[in-house]
Amino acid sequence: MIKVGIIGATGYSGNELVRLLLGHKEVEIKWLGSRSYVDKKYSAVYHNMFKLVDDVCMDDNIEALADEVDVIFTATPQGFCASILNEEILSKVKIIDLSADYRLKDVSIYEEWYNIKHKSPQFIEEAVYGLCEINREQIKGKRLVANPGCFTTCSILSIYPAVKEGLIDAKSIIIDAKSGTSGAGRGAKVDNLFCEVNENMKAYGVLTHRHTPEIEEQLSYAAGEDIKIIFTPHLVPMNRGILVTAYANLKKDVSYADVKAVYEKYYGKETFIRLLDENDYPETRWVEGSNYVDINFKVDKRTNRLIFMGALDNLVKGAAGQAVQNMNLMFGLPENTGLLQVPMFP
Amino acid sequence: MIKVGIIGATGYSGNELVRLLLGHKEVEIKWLGSRSYVDKKYSAVYHNMFKLVDDVCMDDNIEALADEVDVIFTATPQGFCASILNEEILSKVKIIDLSADYRLKDVSIYEEWYNIKHKSPQFIEEAVYGLCEINREQIKGKRLVANPGCFTTCSILSIYPAVKEGLIDAKSIIIDAKSGTSGAGRGAKVDNLFCEVNENMKAYGVLTHRHTPEIEEQLSYAAGEDIKIIFTPHLVPMNRGILVTAYANLKKDVSYADVKAVYEKYYGKETFIRLLDENDYPETRWVEGSNYVDINFKVDKRTNRLIFMGALDNLVKGAAGQAVQNMNLMFGLPENTGLLQVPMFP
Amino acid sequence: MIKVGIIGATGYSGNELVRLLLGHKEVEIKWLGSRSYVDKKYSAVYHNMFKLVDDVCMDDNIEALADEVDVIFTATPQGFCASILNEEILSKVKIIDLSADYRLKDVSIYEEWYNIKHKSPQFIEEAVYGLCEINREQIKGKRLVANPGCFTTCSILSIYPAVKEGLIDAKSIIIDAKSGTSGAGRGAKVDNLFCEVNENMKAYGVLTHRHTPEIEEQLSYAAGEDIKIIFTPHLVPMNRGILVTAYANLKKDVSYADVKAVYEKYYGKETFIRLLDENDYPETRWVEGSNYVDINFKVDKRTNRLIFMGALDNLVKGAAGQAVQNMNLMFGLPENTGLLQVPMFP
Amino acid sequence: MIKVGIIGATGYSGNELVRLLLGHKEVEIKWLGSRSYVDKKYSAVYHNMFKLVDDVCMDDNIEALADEVDVIFTATPQGFCASILNEEILSKVKIIDLSADYRLKDVSIYEEWYNIKHKSPQFIEEAVYGLCEINREQIKGKRLVANPGCFTTCSILSIYPAVKEGLIDAKSIIIDAKSGTSGAGRGAKVDNLFCEVNENMKAYGVLTHRHTPEIEEQLSYAAGEDIKIIFTPHLVPMNRGILVTAYANLKKDVSYADVKAVYEKYYGKETFIRLLDENDYPETRWVEGSNYVDINFKVDKRTNRLIFMGALDNLVKGAAGQAVQNMNLMFGLPENTGLLQVPMFP
């Protein structure tokens, strides 16, 4: 049994990690950390866990807690994981960081977009970007994984093969993304109240959203050159789900079948990527509660562009599910262990 | 033109008051008070008012502000209006208080249920309970009106004629009420976040909700005896609307037509009360954005009970609309001035 | 492995059955029946099943299909199961009927409330009412189980111990129930369109809802006398969930602790019934996607009544989950097999 | 008083027309036509109109009905208006067609995208495209106006000045649009059921949506050359509202202030177009129930593109409101008559 601790267990991603890990037969949750709810019963913060989780929330005394577990998930605000990590901890436990602290290789870009000083840049090089379908081999056995963002996972997986194979001009990519409100977290803000989000649709963080450089870095690797993109997130009145619609100029004269062949080459054997039939579009309802990403695309002969479409559950494949997938890889378990939840509809 | 000031203009009821008063041809808004947003443009707090309202939010210096207006609406937390009211102010302006401060005649009941000391009990006697369809004559010309609560307005109007005419045993009344989330206000609380309210239904304040004694007092007047009732509110994942389903034991053997005749006697000429056709039930969608209350009932011969059903928009007839209706009565205007908005659907 | 067939697999309950059975390690789905989608791929009707279910929808040739399986679930409209059942079929397979056809022992009441002629009343006596926590022993090994309705499961489980132990006057029971919209099925009706349900709350089927006699029959057994109740269902703008708030007159002078002791006696060892802590109320969000029923109550000394509160997921414990629980009992499997999904929030 | 008839009065746009016209002091509604509900009371189809509208739905005998009115609104499916229009009718009444029948000047494009034969192409030339802010002068006094589509109104108004002034390469325009579900109409379809739309986000009609050629035609006029664009609509789980996010390559090196000056030049005096402050983005909640369009944009120096953002209420400025605005222009009334509803929030 893998012994697990979670720091930041009372955020929505933390709660989803607990849900998934309770159903993971190779895992035992040892402790749940939450600064905001120290000494409070976890099931009093998340009543869905009543009678299922008896733990009381711990303070994040990571030095002590690290002795009790094999792996720690940090589902914490930006900067937190970087501020507590050190060589001693890493020598004892594996770390899967759900924040952005180790996602960007260029620390100056991190510091510019997140507007904070990175506290442990020495670990950035070692950290693997935990997008399992792309970096699978590098993740295996590693001790520090940077779990990708929700928007980034959906965006990159939707576009990656087309960039890698040179079908499109990567510098022309425009990503228009839509997210359910759980992505905004459980903090008490007027903007996230029911009456403010319900019956509303808006763009936010236009040109400034922090997932932009993360997508750019990963797609630049695929393109073999530095690219800049536009990434525009929108807030949707629903709990879960990310839908990505992206656009790019074609460099080659391709048919749907041509593009499909490229995607099959990259994803044909992937458990968690479902390449839809030609006339089906991804919809968030079909992946809710599961680790699947649904992907499709369309060739526009009129404007010579490719349209990419992807959907995933931001709390599963976009956060906790991918984190478990990374854990499975790091510990040598079958990658899909504990992750075969069937999407729940409606 | 009636000059109007609003204290607490940045709550949902305050914003609704502004919406209604902008369309009221006999009214001029002179100032908007808001402790939380002093010196901030009102339209930056409520962007629906962009280009429509130029005012900057004022502090609640009621002594000074009272000189500029004919009437002040207080859409403020419990206790606030009671704490600022004095004879000098009342000698200058009329007051329509949307809080509970002057709704209950028995100050000890107020202090028990609200758990605060009443700061100006000397005005309770003078204050009229502003349920227009029942207390119309007493409201006319008055200088202090206690605007009823949203649940209370819907509950009392739905049940009142049956109590008044002795059709039911008033002591057997059970009110099961459902409210949209705008009734919870615009405060930043985890419990009112989109993801907490959406896809959820819950009872709250069971046996302790403060609208209970308000309903009891008014229905006791109608019954001619002191009654206790059960009132259970529920939170519904929608913005606006209150639906009341209430139950009571019949004292007489009546048909639907008998009860309808009683209701027609009381409400047949009311503009804002719509007695539905026999087989139509009140639904919140049909009154949204309007000052109407839809009412119907059903006689259950199997259990010898009467079921009451009522629906209204909690921000209009349940708050701002009724406040404007009271203002019209107080100033001798036609009662429906500025209140003939057609319900907006969908 | 238990071989399973589902008739009516393309309704919401049918889809939920498929979701649960895919995760049930002792079950193999052999065929999926759907009159509306014969020869269509199941995953083209429910895209959540893409790559997970390869079956094509079958016509309901039950004679032939019965040979291939050990148990058939009928998630079909009222009257269908009764019209196809015969001794030969029952001699080959076990039947779990999710419709109302065998729930009521008195066929005249069935025919009156459902307004159809019962086609196979000879099996009513044999059928067990599949409310597992109450009829567990009778269900074991049986070949025909009538799976209870969603409202009824929530209502009966919430109230049963209080009736059984004589705490309340069973004739005074009033049940005010609220349901998510998946309970209305997947039929294309204007009333169930998004824009009609969203931002709305309404009562429906007042005094005429067919779950009324089902609740009355079961509670009459518990009371030891024939009772009539009021049951009022409401439609809530959410996908899943049933919330019951019920009221009854106390016959004894009891405290919360007294009532809790009674409920602990009946449900203390039940896996799927969670008796909440004193000040927590059931909410549908905490049981979504799971087989749990959350229950609590409150004693009102002011009016001498007991208030009952219960919440469950209408598609799980209110339909497919309870059907699987019945299957487990009928086949001698551990009752919770395949049913330990952790509630998913948000 | 202008006498008005509405054909297709029982669709959502028809109902919104009735709502707006009831508050329009220069209008009298003479009849309401609806094929689906002939002889049924209008208020039994739309209960919000109970006690407000007494009319019974008429069959669409336009020859006879045209004699009674000054103007007819056709809120009907594509092809209907074209099939009934003739010179005799047009000689008697003005026509405001809310369908697409007279929006496209090139009948072959109409027939290709709508896949129907145009029944009265002889009137296409005469019809004015009723986008009031752009074609105001041509609309005045006209007898046939083609009321623009909801997506098109929002898209064109958001982008028009930038195209007209040559700020962008019009051939690079990509429009990613999001719509509330009322845009899908009141037809009973599984895809528009509450449980299918709620908790979901999807693209639809990708590369094939019929508003594409309408946007292209109007923007081609502005550009002075034929352009092709990408237009991708998405369905959002909310009742009302359209949000447009559009992208185009800059042709000039401009600042936000430069672009703002261009938009002020075109829209600075418009009542119904609100150019937001620099850091505010359009959101559908701020225009709900009103005829306003909120517009803003952002210059991306990193990728040398302009991002356009627009929001409106699809049933008001996107349909019924703009139709009334057109009527006002056609009859020489002040353009904003009956259209000054304050946006309703929440």
Dump pLDDT digits (tens) for D202-211: 999 999 999 9
Kindly list the catalytic residues of B. Answer: 150
Kindly state the average pLDDT of the residues C33-37. 95
Res A60 pLDDT > 80 = no
CA distance C294 to chain B (A): 12
Residues sharing a CB contact under 8 Å with residue C177, sequence separation 6 or more, in sequence order: C151, C154, C155, C231, C232, C233, C234, C242, C243, C244, C245
Q: What is the pLDDT of residues B6-45, one digit of tens each?
A: 999 999 999 999 999 999 999 999 999 999 999 999 999 9
* Distance in angstroms (rounded) separating the CA atoms of residues B171 and B251: 11
Taking residues D214-243, what's their average pLDDT? Answer: 98
Residue B237: closest C-alpha in chain A: A194
Helices (H), B140-255: 150-164, 194-197, 211-223
Query: Average pLDDT for residues D185-191, to the nearest whole number?
Result: 97
User: Which residue, among C159, C183, C197, has the nearest Cα to C242 in the 3D structure?
Assistant: C183
Q: Which residue has the tokens 């009145």?
A: A237
Which of A188, A194, A199 is facing B197, going by the closest CB pair? A194
Q: Smallest Cβ distance to D48: which of B199, B239, B345?
A: B345
Q: Could you give the residue numbers annotated as active site of A?
A: 150
Q: Tell me the backbone φ, ψ of residue D46, rounded to 5 degrees.
A: -125, 95
User: Whose structure tokens read 């009451």?
Assistant: B308
Task: Determine the Cα–Cα distance for residues A273 and C51; give it in Å rounded to an integer.
Answer: 10
Q: How many residues does chain D have?
A: 346
The helix-helix angle for B321-331 and B132-139 (nearest 10°) equals: 30
Q: Does C36 touch chain D (CB under 8 A)?
A: no
From residue D32, how far is each of A312, D27, D326 by CA, in Å? 45, 14, 19
- Has residue C262 got a pLDDT over 90? yes
Establish if C197 touches chain D: CB-CB under 8 angstroms. Answer: yes
Amino acid (1-letter code) at residue D59: D
Beta bridge partners of C275: C295
- Number of residue pairs across B and D with CB atoms under 8 Å? 81
Do C196 and D194 make contact, defined as CB atoms within 8 angstroms?
yes
Q: Tens digit of pLDDT per residue, chain B (346 long)?
A: 999 999 999 999 999 999 999 999 999 999 999 999 999 999 999 999 999 999 999 997 888 889 999 999 999 999 999 999 999 999 999 999 999 999 999 999 999 999 999 999 999 999 999 999 999 999 999 999 999 999 999 999 999 999 999 999 999 999 999 999 999 999 999 999 999 999 999 999 999 999 999 999 999 999 999 999 999 999 999 999 999 999 999 999 999 999 999 999 999 999 999 999 999 999 999 999 999 999 999 999 999 999 999 999 999 999 999 999 999 999 999 999 999 999 999 9
Residues forming a β-bridge with B97: B74, B146
* D230 contacts A307 by C-beta, under 8 angstroms: yes
Distance CA D181, CA D204 (A): 12
- CA separation for the pair C114, C145 (Å, rounded): 19
Contact list, A202 vs chain B (CB under 8 Å): none
Rounded to 10 deg, the angle between the A211-223 and A150-164 helix axes is 20
Summarize pLDDT for C216-248 with one digit per residue, the tens: 999 999 999 999 999 999 999 999 999 999 999
Catalytic residue among C57, C81, C150, C154: C150
pLDDT at D191 over 80: yes
Q: Are D92 and D66 in contact (CB under 8 A)?
A: yes
Maximum Cα–Cα distance for chain A, whole Å?
62
pLDDT of D61 higher than 90 = no
- Are residues C133 and C268 in contact, defined by beta-carbon separation less than 8 angstroms? no
Domains and CATH numbers, chain C: 2-126 (3.40.50.720), 151-313 (3.30.360.10)
What's at D252, amino acid-wise?
Answer: K
C346 in contact with B at a CB cutoff of 8 Å?
yes
Which residue in chain B has the smallest CA separation from C346?
A: B195
Of D193, D199, D238, the CB nearest to C193: D193
The dihedral formed by the CA atoms of C63, C67, C68 and C73, expressed in degrees to the nearest 10: 60
pLDDT in tens, A238-282: 999 999 999 999 999 999 999 999 999 999 999 999 999 999 999
Helices (H), chain B: 12-22, 42-45, 62-66, 80-84, 87-92, 107-114, 132-139, 150-164, 194-197, 211-223, 256-267, 321-331
How many beta carbons lie within 10 A of that of residue C224, not counting itself? 11
- What's the pLDDT band for C63 if we cut at 50, 70, 90? confident
**Is the C-alpha dihedral spanning D258, D263, D269, D275 positive or negative?**
negative
What residues 125-184 of chain A have any CB closer than 8 A to a CB of chain C? 182
Report the DSSP pairing between strands A242-249 and A305-312.
antiparallel
Q: Which residues of C touch D188 (CB under 8 A)?
A: 188-190, 193
Task: Examine the residue annotation and report whether C57 is marked as an active-site residue of this protein.
Answer: no
CB contact under 8 A, D346 and A199: yes
How far apart, in Å, are the Cα atoms of D62 and each of C106, C169, C253? 57, 64, 72
Residue B308, H or E segment: strand B305-312
- Tell me if A81 sits within 8 A of A97, measured CB to CB: yes
Q: For the complex shown, is ipTM > 0.85?
A: yes
pLDDT at C62: 83
Q: Please name the residues in contact with D72: beta carbons below 8 A apart, sequence gap of 6 or more.
A: D4, D5, D6, D7, D62, D65, D66, D93, D94, D95, D96
pLDDT digits (tens, 9 = 90+) for A217-234: 999 999 999 999 999 999
Asked if D193 and C190 come within 8 Å (Cβ–Cβ), the reply is no
Round to whole Å and give the CA distance between A328 and A136.
11
Q: Is the per-residue pLDDT at A30 higher than 90?
A: yes
- Asked if B285 is an interface residue toward chain D (Cβ–Cβ < 8 A), one would say yes
Q: Which of C12, C193, C200 to mutate to test the interface with D (most CBs of D within 10 A)?
A: C193
Q: What was the pLDDT predicted at D195?
A: 98
Whether D194 contacts chain C with CB within 8 A: yes
Report how far residue D283's alpha carbon sits from residue A203's, in angstroms, rounded to the nearest whole number.
8
Mean pLDDT in residue range D59-70 = 88
A78 token code pair = 């930006």
SS3 B293: strand
Taking the Cβ of residue D336 and every Cβ of chain C, the question of whether any pair is shorter than 8 Å is answered with no
Instruction: Tell me whether strands B174-179 and B242-249 are parallel, antiparallel or unpaired.
Output: antiparallel
- Assess B40–D contact: CB distance below 8 Å, yes or no: no
Pairs across C and D, CB distance < 8 A: 56
Tokens representing residue A75 in the block: 């589902």
pLDDT tens digits for C82-140? 999 999 999 999 999 999 999 999 999 999 999 999 999 999 999 999 999 999 999 99
Decide: residue D220, CB within 10 A, 0-12 exposed, 13-18 middle, 19+ buried: middle
AA letter at A204: Y
Nearest beta carbon to residue A188 from set B181, B188, B199: B188
Q: In this complex, do A344 and C294 lie within 8 Å of one another by their Cβ atoms?
A: no
Across chain C, the runs of DSSP E, i.e. the strands, are: 2-7, 27-33, 71-74, 94-97, 128-129, 144-146, 174-179, 202-203, 230-235, 242-249, 273-275, 293-300, 305-312
| pLDDT score, position C61 | 81
Which chain C residues are closer than 8 Å to A239 by Cβ?
A: 346
Q: What CA–CA distance (Å, rounded) separates A212 from A197?
A: 23
* Cα(C166)–Cα(C336) distance, integer angstroms: 30
Is residue D307 within a helix (H) or strand (E), and if so which, with residue range?
Answer: strand D305-312
**Residues of B (203-232) whose Cβ lies below 8 Å from A:** none
Position A62 pLDDT exceeds 90: no
Contact list in C for residue B240 (CB cut-off 8 A) is 199
